[in-house]
Structure formats: structure tokens, C-alpha cells
């Protein structure tokens, strides 16, 4: 991988903040966009724009073709069997809400149970709590050890005859833990229970093959994998999606409407009410093409090298505490130094041009498990370099000395 060549594709990486070269280490929150993604969006607005699916005219058909070919790009990227299994959403959060709402309505009654894990993002906790308030379902939580690895024995013990679904992240946005999701899916299936994967933090960093995993549902966001904001995906096995009721009502998701009775459109449109972000999906497909061009395995290897290097170097700093030391880890390092508040560390690093995230990272129950309020988080992308890690380590050391 020629990192310098890749960096040229991301104009923002050239900018300075406070007169310092930007060191962007907040990729877990969102990634930067390569030129071809932004160009594809601009080009479509300038030369194709028309609403999709509804028009006989040339532009509408061209926009529809682009939109549907983006669906095929996503299908191919995750190795789904059919484009009927690819539903476009606004992002992971909307995808989880869609599934919780539709699955909960059809398949869950008072006293039924969902299994999630202690490290989930709020977007995979709160929708279940809303369902619990509506329907009286119970939420069971898989615990973890101090390294940040889920306890699989405990997981197995949580299943009961009331378990209706498991919903767990593949990669933790805080700890970087790569959960053994394939094994966990097999366990759920052995109990006759479907499995939903929050792939928001795995899709950008590793190959995700839905057939190999045998996942029933997976959700992810385009903006975390070098695509635009406002676009995401729900993948669902067709036999499941066929059985789920629609999430939202409106145009596009219907076959026929009368005041007496409405029939719904076929998959995937049944779940796509209203005008989709058809320009966003074009940008998203370009981002996936871009990642394919570089190779997800090359990206994974590069980010692994950065993570190992950063971990070793950061441990040289006195008072350094790293949260998340799982055997299988992706490119995220959460840390605290001595009793320096995460917010102070983040603010001072920012002054050195280093963009990191601070706080609870939308995982307050995980913070409670760790006994802390928040961390500083550096998260890596394909364009980060060892030199940037050196700048980060020097920055942390400098801030530490100030306290």
C-alpha cells in the first residue's frame, strides 16, 4: 500500500489546524472522503439529478440505474445472495431502529428476551429499551472480562425459551475488540434464534461476508467506510425480511393504496418509504469501489501494524492506561493518562493539530463497567501513518508533562 499516494486522494488531509498539519485520528466517528466520492456526488447533481423509480423520463431512468447499481455494489461487497436483501437507510442507527421496530412488532411479546452485550453502542441499547417500554420485553446482557473480551460461557447461559433475537456488535467502537461473531451466530442458531450484527465498526476494517458469517441481519453506515453521511444499509436474509412488517409508511413502499386497504411493495422497497438518498448511494458505492481497489485485507494489515506500533509506543508513557486489550483487536485505542481528564487531554491534543475523540463514545454502560466516565480515543483509517502515531505519542507525552 502506497500511503502517500492514498493520502493524495483525500484533500482534507492536507489542511492545517492551528497552524499545525492535521493528524486525523477520529476515524471511528467518521472517515474522510476520497476525491472520487465527492466528485461522483457533484457529477450526479450537475448532470443526472432526478427522482428515482417514478419517472419515465431519461434522467429519472439514469438516476434509477445509478441507484440500483449502487445496491448491487453493496450486495457484492458483503456477498449477499440478492439485492432484495439490501435496504438503504440513513445509517446504522436507523437500521437498528428499523429492525427492532419491525422484528419487535412481529415476533416479540411481553416477557420475550433479546440478548445484547455490555459493550454495545447506545444505538443498540436504547431502541431495545424503547421496545421494552412498549411491549415489556426483557434485555439480557453478555458480560466481558477486564481485557474487553465477551464471556462466551456466560453468553450461552443467557439463552432461554423466551430468547427471540441476539443483537451484538462485531467490533467495539471503544475497546477495538473484534468479537467472535461467527461463533456467536452459530450458538444463537443452535438455539433457533436469529442474530443481528452491528457492523458499523467492522465494515471499514475487515472483510464482512454475510453468507460466511450466516448473519440474519447486519447494519452499517456509509460514512464510516469513506462514503457520504446520510446513507447506510440493513442487510437481512430474504426469508426474514419477507416476514417483517414495513417500518415507515409512505411513497415507494406500497403496491396499491386505497382508503380501505393498502398492499406493500416487494423487497427491498417495502422498507424504503419516501425519496431515498439516491445521490448518497452513488457516493457510497464509489467509496466501496475505492476500498476494493486498495483491498480490505491490505487496509486491515496496515491498520493492524499502526495499532501494534501505537500501543507499544503509548505504553512507554508513564501513567498510561489502555482500555481494551483483547487478543483480537481492530484499529482503536482508548486511553487515559494518570488522572488527566479525557476532555483536557483531547482539547490540548487538538491544539497540536491532533483530532481524537473524548467522552463516553455513546457507550455509557460500558464506561460504568470500566468504572470510568470516559476515555480519549484514537481510531485509525487507511491513510494514517506511523509518523502520525509519533506525533500523537509526542503530543500525549507533552500534555502529560504539563499536568
Q: Hey, which residues between 334 and 373 contact ligand PLP (CB under 6 A)? A: none
DSSP β-bridge partners for residue 169: 198
* Whole-number Cα distances in Å, 111 to 114, 135, 167, 188: 10, 8, 17, 19
Stretch binding ligand PLP (CB under 6 A), from 144-152, 154-162, 193-201, 321-329: 193-201
Decide: is 201 part of the binding site for ligand PLP (CB under 6 A): yes
When the beta carbons of 231 and 345 are compared against ligand PLP, the nearer one is 231
Between β-strands 138-142 and 113-117, what pairing exists: parallel, antiparallel or unpaired? parallel
Grid cell listed for 291: 476500498
When the beta carbons of 288 and 348 are compared against ligand PLP, the nearer one is 288
Q: Hey, which residues between 119 and 138 contact ligand PLP (CB under 6 A)? A: 121, 123
What is the CA 362 to chain-centroid distance, rounded?
A: 13
Task: Report the nearest approach of ligand PLP to the CB of residue 124 (Å).
Answer: 6
Decide: is 265 part of the binding site for ligand PLP (CB under 6 A): no
Interface pick for ligand PLP out of 73, 117, 221, 311 (rule CB under 6 A): 221
Count Cβ atoms below 10 Å from residue 83 Cβ, excluding itself.
18
Grid cell listed for 73: 455494489
Task: Report the nearest approach of ligand PLP to the CB of residue 249 (Å).
Answer: 22
Decide: is 163 part of the binding site for ligand PLP (CB under 6 A): no
Stretch binding ligand PLP (CB under 6 A), from 194-202, 261-269, 291-299, 383-391: 194-202
Q: Which of 36, 48, 362, 372 is catalytic?
A: 362
Task: Report the nearest approach of ligand PLP to the CB of residue 86 (Å).
Answer: 17
Instruction: Please confirm, yes or no, whether 362 is among the known catalytic residues.
Output: yes
Decide: is 378 part of the binding site for ligand PLP (CB under 6 A): no
Count Cβ atoms below 10 Å from residue 381 Cβ, excluding itself.
26
When the beta carbons of 32 and 201 are compared against ligand PLP, the nearer one is 201
Q: What CA–CA distance (Å, rounded) separates 323 from 325? A: 7
When the beta carbons of 221 and 358 are compared against ligand PLP, the nearer one is 221
The CA angle 7-12-18, to the nearest 5 degrees, is 120
Which spans in 118-207 are helix H? 126-135, 152-157, 181-190
When the beta carbons of 159 and 335 are compared against ligand PLP, the nearer one is 335
Grid cell listed for 237: 436474509
Query: What b-and-e string marks burial along 270-301, b requiring 16 or more CB atoms within 10 Å of the CB?
Result: bbbbeebbbbbbbbbbbbbbbbeebebeebbe
Q: What CA–CA distance (Å, rounded) separates 65 from 241? A: 23
Q: Hey, which residues between 68 and 97 contact ligand PLP (CB under 6 A)? A: 91-93
Looking at the annotation, which residues are catalytic? Answer: 362
Binding site for ligand PLP (CB under 6 A): 91-93, 121, 123, 169, 173, 198, 200-201, 221
Amino acid at each position: 500500500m502506497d500511503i502517500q499516494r492514498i493520502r493524495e486522494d483525500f484533500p482534507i488531509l492536507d489542511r492545517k489546524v492551528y497552524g499545525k498539519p492535521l493528524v486525523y485520528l477520529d476515524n471511528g466517528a467518521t472517515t474522510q472522503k476520497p476525491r472520487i466520492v465527492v466528485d461522483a456526488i457533484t457529477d450526479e447533481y450537475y448532470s443526472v439529478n432526478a427522482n428515482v423509480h417514478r419517472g419515465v423520463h431519461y434522467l429519472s431512468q439514469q438516476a434509477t440505474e445509478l441507484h440500483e447499481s449502487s445496491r448491487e455494489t453493496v450486495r457484492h461487497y458483503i456477498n449477499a445472495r440478492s439485492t432484495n436483501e439490501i435496504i438503504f437507510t440513513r445509517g446504522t442507527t436507523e437500521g437498528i431502529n428499523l429492525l427492532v421496530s419491525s422484528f419487535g412488532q412481529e415476533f416479540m411479546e411481553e416477557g420475550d428476551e433479546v440478548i445484547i452485550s455490555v459493550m454495545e453502542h447506545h444505538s443498540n441499547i436504547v431502541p431495545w429499551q424503547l421496545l421494552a417500554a412498549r411491549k415489556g420485553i426483557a434485555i439480557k446482557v453478555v458480560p466481558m472480562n477486564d481485557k474487553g473480551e465477551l464471556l462466551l460461557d456466560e453468553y450461552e447461559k443467557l439463552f432461554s425459551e423466551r430468547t427471540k433475537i441476539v443483537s451484538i456488535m462485531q467490533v467495539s467502537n471503544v475497546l477495538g475488540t473484534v468479537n467472535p461473531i461467527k461463533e456467536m451466530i452459530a450458538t444463537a442458531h443452535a438455539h433457533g434464534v436469529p442474530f443481528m450484527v452491528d457492523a458499523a465498526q467492522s465494515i471499514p476494517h475487515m472483510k464482512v461476508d454475510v453468507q460466511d458469517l450466516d448473519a440474519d441481519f447486519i447494519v452499517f453506515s456509509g460514512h464510516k467506510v469513506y462514503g457520504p453521511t446520510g446513507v447506510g444499509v440493513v442487510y437481512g436474509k430474504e426469508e426474514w425480511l419477507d416476514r417483517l412488517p414495513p417500518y415507515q409508511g409512505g411513497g415507494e413502499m406500497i403496491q396499491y393504496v386505497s382508503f380501505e386497504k393498502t398492499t406493500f411493495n416487494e423487497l427491498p422497497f417495502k422498507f424504503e418509504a419516501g425519496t431515498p438518498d439516491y445521490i448518497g448511494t452513488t457516493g457510497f458505492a464509489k467509496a466501496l469501489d475505492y476500498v476494493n481497489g486498495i483491498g480490505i485485507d491490505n487496509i486491515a494489515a496496515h491498520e493492524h501494524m499502526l495499532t501494534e506500533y501505537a500501543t507499544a509506543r503509548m505504553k512507554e508513557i508513564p501513567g498510561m492506561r489502555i482500555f481494551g486489550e483483547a487478543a483480537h483487536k481492530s484499529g482503536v485505542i482508548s486511553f487515559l493518562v494518570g488522572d488527566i481528564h479525557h476532555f483536557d487531554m483531547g482539547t490540548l491534543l487538538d491544539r497540536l493539530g491532533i483530532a481524537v475523540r473524548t467522552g463516553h463514545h455513546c457507550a455509557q454502560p460500558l464506561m460504568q463497567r470500566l468504572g470510568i466516565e470516559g476515555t480519549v480515543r484514537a481510531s485509525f483509517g487507511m491513510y494514517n501513518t506511523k509518523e502520525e502515531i509519533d506525533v500523537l505519542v509526542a503530543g500525549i507525552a507533552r500534555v502529560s508533562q504539563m499536568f
